[in-house]
Chains A and B, each alone.
Chain A
């Protein structure tokens, strides 16, 4: 059973932090299909957050096919973070490192790079469309 933590200063909303932590746990193998996620009551009671927030996070995971709620029993992990095999990820990573070096050489600062990635992603229409966070 994993335990959640909250970053009070993060701009990421609480429910999203929970979702991300589950996904991270899946990635590193702390959670496997069949494992039970902490009960809503436990999470709300230990973090002092609204139980609806926990429910929202678990519902989000259900929508993404990563978890499944069983009434009266709990919420269980069902999926894995599939969608990209480890090998293709490694390849993409290598390409990214090369590009980053190129961008640095061209004189772009880290902020310029992030902005460039953001606007390009938006324009291309892939990935979540985010409003600019402060």
Chain B
């Protein structure tokens, strides 16, 4: 079966390898350039000085200016980043979907399943080998993506939506899931093109659902409450995933959503976010009818330190989905004549 699987799919494996090498040829110079500028422009130094604690001094330099400059210089890298996001799906569509679908569409399953190997052994060997190859490829590009995207994500951290998707080991889970989805789609549609379309659509739907509905709930978010008159602020560059922030009054009601206020004792006023024009942030919020004091800047967030736990949970979910799909795919095989 090893010989057969290789001989049947060697072209696909070769093209994928070539594609990855081509990708690497683009990633290497751009990645080196980004790392270079990141260190030399002082952005790295600024961020390390800022540190990763959740709460920082109110007048600390948040490196936003330097980062703005950096991202303007590398604004075109966004396209590559989108490509990386699509990679797992492409592998699933072009590698996984034709696996069973082409075999059945061309009728060769009636040839190979009537040699002495049983359908189950054929499936286990073939899917297992493809999974192993997928694992190797996805680990390679996952590591490459981690390295390449480091400078770009240094500001916002790795927990945020979409950014999380190409960090750590998540791409490995997505890719194995995509391939399993392709295989399963092949057992349902038994024709290559519909299976590919179904894989594409299915992958996007599942990813969107998990990212928007499940991921925020993996662990309960933490809440940081800082008094509005404190001299400290929440560190937005700590790499945390911020669900939302706002000003909360003494009764716990959110009175100024998406904003934060710093009414320093030394008269400094720091306001950010969407404070409405008719509200004077430091001119006595109680008197403006916003309810009883004291007032707090409240931020709901997942701390950056939970990154690997979240990666583990998400990858685990996608691997479990992959396993379930493969199980049902093998079961469906027994009904194909």
Whether the complex brings A and B within 8 Å at their CB atoms is answered no
User: B residues within 8 Å of A by Cβ?
Assistant: none
